[in-house]
């Protein structure tokens, strides 16, 4: 986003590869042991996404150089399609989260917006447009969702409250109310 003049983001490669990449894949294995196949699939997929994205932006592998540099239209179009493919993939995770709980639904809707805006950002950069507008839009989208979900209380009060709800509102026959809980 260009905050404080930051334009080279190779400092985040460790986060992409180790924390997000390997960490999520290892967490996925534990979810499989627990029998939670949805979380296994999601954590494994996103762990591999971050690991792959980290490899793409690592200068050692020369992927940006193969396109003629990170500022070329070809490289930014390729990254745009990479993220757009994951945005389409995320639609299926969003659909899969509907019978679960509101937190999962919120996470995947937010990730969907971020992936879509990030893909648009890469396409704008490839077309020679500024990257700040799309990046800031994604940043504000994330903030607005988090602020609304965490702070919106009953009757419009803005008391900090974490809302973890069952998605029974989408399937009334399976709601907590109908089970007497």
> What are the pLDDT digits (tens) for 111-136?
888 888 888 888 888 888 765 555 55
- Dist. CA 80–CA 39, nearest whole Å: 26
Q: Quote the pLDDT of residue 144.
A: 52
- Dist. CA 6–CA 163, nearest whole Å: 35
- Dist. CA 176–CA 101, nearest whole Å: 11
Mean local confidence (pLDDT), 156-175:
47
Helix ranges (DSSP H) in the chain? 13-14, 23-34, 37-57, 63-66, 73-97, 102-126, 132-151
Q: Quote the pLDDT of residue 178.
A: 44
Asked if 131 contacts 124 with a C-beta cutoff of 8 angstroms, the reply is yes
Q: Quote the pLDDT of residue 45.
A: 93
Q: Quote the pLDDT of residue 40.
A: 92
User: Contacts for 14-18 with beta carbons within 8 Å, 24 or more apart?
Assistant: 15/54, 16/50, 16/51, 16/53, 16/54, 16/57, 17/50, 17/51, 17/54, 17/55, 17/58
Mean local confidence (pLDDT), 48-70:
88
pLDDT at 4 over 70: no
Give the lowest-confidence range in 79-93, 119-133, 134-148, 151-165: 151-165
Give the lowest-confidence range in 15-24, 76-85, 145-154: 145-154
Which letter does DSSP use for residue 70 in this model? T
- Dist. CA 145–CA 73, nearest whole Å: 31
Q: What percent of the chain has pLDDT over 90?
A: 19
Burial (Cβ within 10 Å: 0-12, 13-18, ≥19) of residue 50: buried
pLDDT bin (cut points 50, 70, 90) of residue 104 is confident
């Amino acid at each position: 986003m260009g905050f404080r003049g930051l334009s080279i983001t190779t400092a985040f490669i460790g986060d992409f590869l180790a924390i997000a990449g390997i960490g999520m894949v290892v967490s996925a294995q534990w979810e499989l042991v627990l029998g939670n196949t949805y979380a296994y699939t999601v954590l494994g997929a996103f762990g591999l996404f971050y690991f792959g994205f980290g490899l793409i932006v690592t200068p050692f592998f020369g992927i940006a150089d193969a396109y003629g540099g990170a500022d070329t239209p070809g490289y930014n179009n390729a990254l745009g399609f990479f993220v757009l493919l994951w945005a389409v993939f995320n639609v299926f995770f969003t659909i899969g989260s509907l019978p679960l709980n509101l937190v999962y639904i919120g996470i995947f809707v937010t990730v969907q917006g971020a992936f879509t805006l990030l893909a648009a950002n890469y396409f704008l950069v490839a077309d020679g447009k500024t990257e700040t507008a799309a990046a800031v839009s994604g940043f504000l989208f994330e903030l607005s969702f988090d602020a609304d979900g965490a702070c919106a209380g009953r009757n419009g009060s803005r008391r900090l409250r974490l809302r973890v709800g069952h998605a029974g509102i989408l399937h009334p026959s399976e709601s907590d109310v109908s089970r007497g809980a």
